[in-house]
Amino acid sequence: MKKLVEKGMEEGASGFSTGLVYPPNVFSSTHELIELCKSVAKYDGCFVVHMRNESFKIDEAIEEMFEVARKSGIRLHLSHFKIIGERNRHFYPVILRKIEEAREEGLEVTFDQYPYTAASTVLHSILPPWMHDGGNEKMIERLKSSEIRKEIEKELNEGTTFENWVYNVGWKNIIVSSVGSEDNKELEGKSLKEIAKIRNKEPIDSTCDLLVEEEGDVTMVTYWGKEEDITEAMKSPYHIVGSDSIFGGKPHPRLYGTHPRILGRYVREERVLRLEEAIHHMTGAPAQLLRLENRGLLRKDYWADVVVFDPNSVRDTATFEDPVQDPVGIESVIVNGKVCIEDGKAISFEGDGRVLFNI
């Protein structure tokens, strides 16, 4: 694995990324992560990670990431930072303080965040990790068993050994955002609690049935937190704006609205960030994280990647109810010196972008 990582870095990758709540990554040990990150650190790469827990065990999860950074020498970036569930909100100042302390210690730590109090990912990630052993086919087979469903339900109601969405936010706050087939399209936009009522079943059975019917191809939106918590995190100098988007069905509005929402709501209306701070969090900071040369700033001899917008009108229009909506107030977009959007409309675009790094 280390040889494969080094080969990837030599071929142009900027770092190593993993999601420690998803199979098979959920089964990775701390030692394994340290060893893989050593191979990335040799090339000054970064470690971009969805931590093992973002709720009741986030304190332990971030300490694990700091240990990986210390023992490997890698630069650490925490993906889509949040703390799931109102019962866990008290961890916000604790974790932000820990990031400050890690920086003072000499670790290069940053994080990204989308400006919404709801997340989005695949629905089967609500299941206990053991359900994924053997891949999607085995998971579907297990979901058909009434006895296994009882085990799943008990763990979802009580379990604190994994990232437990049902325990943290409840069935009513988990919304189906897309399904793979046409058969269940009418369920997009409805909560798991609503779907259970429609099907006249318990939530565990209607949810398992849906996953079986769609062969696991279902995404979700989950309401997890409070506005004041994300604004506090947004003020951190180590914050980077990230959209973390998934296409398909009725997606999370962050797919269309993340950056203009920052500029409209959190800069112009709420004054959480100054305009220049917000722009740096969107441009210079991610370029620094990925060590992109001659990008991320408006400077002579840099690549001309430019977004022209009106700070008095730019805003998002995408909502959870109607997410596929373009923002307003963005006039032009220039990629490598070539105009691809003018007067708010896409014009002839003939591949003026370039590969910045390999994934």
- The CATH number that applies at residue 66 is 3.20.20.140
Q: What is the pLDDT of residues 98-112, one digit of tens each?
A: 999 999 999 999 999
Same-domain pairing of 251 and 111: yes
Same-domain pairing of 104 and 173: no
324, part of any domain: no
With a cut of 70, list the residues of the chain below it in pLDDT.
Answer: 348, 358-359
218, part of any domain: yes
User: What is the structure's pLDDT at 358?
Assistant: 59
Domain hosting 144: range is 120-223
Domains held by the chain: number: 2
Same-domain pairing of 14 and 69: yes
User: What is the structure's pLDDT at 355?
Assistant: 82
- Domain's final residue, options 246, 274, 298: 298
308, part of any domain: no
CA distances from 187 to 123, 192, 324 (A): 13, 9, 17
Say if residues 258 and 326 touch (Cβ distance below 8 Å).
no
Which residue, chain included where needed, has tokens 């972008």?
353
Same-domain pairing of 111 and 26: yes
- Domain's final residue, options 165, 190, 223: 223
353, part of any domain: no
Same-domain pairing of 49 and 125: no
Same-domain pairing of 127 and 250: no
Same-domain pairing of 285 and 164: no
294, part of any domain: yes
Say if residues 323 and 253 touch (Cβ distance below 8 Å).
yes
**Residues whose CB is less than 8 angstroms from the CB of residue 206 and which lie 6 or more positions away in sequence, other chains included:** 192, 195, 196, 198, 199
Same-domain pairing of 154 and 105: no
Tell which residue, 264, 276, 248, 285, has the closest CA to residue 113.
285
Same-domain pairing of 60 and 38: yes
336, part of any domain: no
SS (H, E, C) 65-119: HHHHHHHHCCEEEECCCCCCCHHHCCHHHHHHHHHHHHHHHCCCEEEEECCCCEE
What angle is formed at CA 271 by the lines to CA 270 and CA 276, rounded to 5 degrees? 140
Same-domain pairing of 94 and 184: no
Same-domain pairing of 89 and 36: yes
Chain centroid to Cα 264, Å, comes to: 21
Q: Is the pTM of this model over 0.95?
A: no
Same-domain pairing of 178 and 41: no
Q: Which two tokens stand for residue 349?
A: 């675009």
Q: What is the pLDDT of residues 209-250, one digit of tens each?
A: 999 999 999 999 999 999 999 999 999 999 999 999 888 888
18, part of any domain: yes
Helices (H) and strands (E) in the chain, counts: 13, 12
- Domain's final residue, options 273, 298, 323: 298
Distance CA 155, CA 232 (A): 33
313, part of any domain: no
